[in-house]
Structure 1
């Protein structure tokens, strides 16, 4: 399932960014990015079976996509999306215990301010929310019980820069920090309150254009002001 999800994500990104080079427009209303992303959870847990029991969530490298819509030349909204598979491992009195693997669908929506470009560099900042849906939890060493995580919400901050490469293309670097918690259970074996708080670092390529140039419209696009 991991390979299929990554394949679908990459195929979608390639199909979107395969637009004609002549359609690129640094004043366009739409920006799509395909990125490589490192997700670094700053995790800790309170496991009810032992006060000294803790847990750690693995760091993962995954492909990601972003879709940004510009309301003005400076104000935009971004959707960040991906699928990721993580491993949970015990720490403290549970050190080395396999707590199970799980999949996550963790979209982030941010409202952004993009500064005017200087020498082709266009920095931006943003703030928003992340929602994580956890699914397909695997078996653990806790009596063979499967790990189950409750869906969670968190607050996100973001900063990044787009560097002009020509014809609407950008090189992008982006960093996000999210603060969120979730409840975890292993059937009747154990429960835990887990702090996730991931740091999300991405680099990739972006393509900016007017949506009407790709899909057509009955009227001319209005330049962003």
Structure 2
């Protein structure tokens, strides 16, 4: 929880510092968002020692931060990042078994197309990749051993909308779907599992758009995006 709190404070601090350092600009080249995000894995598992065993990963709310850079007025790249703690539970022949909890660091990088605004509504779509680092696995009901998961990569699709609320600020809603797998193991038990994660990631939050040169104190006028 301390790590989650640090992410929230960092995100809020960055947004406030940006707001103080520069005037909002809806044609600016940088957009920062602070969000609350629902991570809902569409998970299943194939366990090596029992074909009747399955597993699912918990659905969780986590704080998230995005940083978007606009190359043109329509084309941008977004980095989405956060930390979260998830839990794995047994299903099928393992129903009711606590398979362990674990932390994730799951950044997503997408290339986006932002449509021209319509009455303050600015929808966008994107595609990219997610990398997940799993760490600090907790103890399970499988002999008290800790769960361990291999880092994984997956393909991500994205859609969302920013709604202008004035002075460079937006309200935001965003949805991402990612397809990825990982391998789980429990030391000294001989138990291994091929885990399908495939999370649906739904975010709502607030964003602030500005010119990066303003934040860095440049005296030169920012070039207009084309």
1:43-98 superposed Cα distances (whole Å, 9 cap, x missing partner) = 00001121000001000000000000000000000000000000000000000100
Kept in 2, the 8 Å contact 1:34–1:204? The answer is yes
Flag as ranges the 4+ runs of structure 1 deviating above 3 A: none
Match of 2:165 in 1: 165
Cα distance in 2 between the residues matched to 1:213 and 1:160: 27
1:6 to 4, 7, 16: 4
Which residue of structure 2 aligns with residue 222 of structure 1? 223
SS in structure 2 at match of 1:23: coil
Moved more, 65-74 or 16-25: 16-25
5+ long unaligned stretches in structure 1: none
CA contact (8 A) 2:126 2:158 kept: yes
Residues paired across the two proteins, number: 223
Say whether the 8 Å CA contact 1:111–1:128 is kept in structure 2: yes
Q: Decide whether the 8 Å contact of 1:84 with 1:103 is kept in 2.
A: yes
Specify the SS of the correspondent of 1:14.
Answer: helix
Contact 1:23/1:214 (8 A) holds in 2: no
Partner of 2:130: 130
Contact 1:86 1:103 in 2 (8 A): yes
Q: Which residue of 1 is the match for residue 57 of structure 2?
A: 57
Deviation at 1:219, TM superposition (A): 2.4
- 1:186 to 2:186 alignment: yes
CA contact (8 A) 1:86 1:101 kept: yes
Separation in structure 1 between the aligned mates of residue 72 and residue 91 of structure 2, nearest angstrom: 48
SS in 2 for 1:20: helix
Unaligned runs of 5+ in 2: none
2:212 is matched with: 211
The alignment status of 1:197 with 2:198, answered yes or no, reads yes
**Match in the other structure for 2:28:** 28
Q: Distance in 1 between matches of 2:92 and 2:46?
A: 11
CA RMSD of aligned residues (A): 1.0
- 1:9-48: CA deviations, max 9, x gaps? 1121112211239610000000000000000000000011
Q: Retained in 1: the 8 A contact 2:130–2:153?
A: yes
| Superposition TM-score, scaled by structure 1 size | 0.97
SS across alignment from 2:50:
coil
TM-score (norm 2): 0.97
Q: Partner residue of 1:68?
A: 68
CA distance in 2, matches of 1:221, 1:9: 30
Question: How many Å separate the matches in 2 of 1:130 and 1:4?
Answer: 24
Q: Deviations over 1:196-216 (max 9, x none)?
A: 000000000000000111221
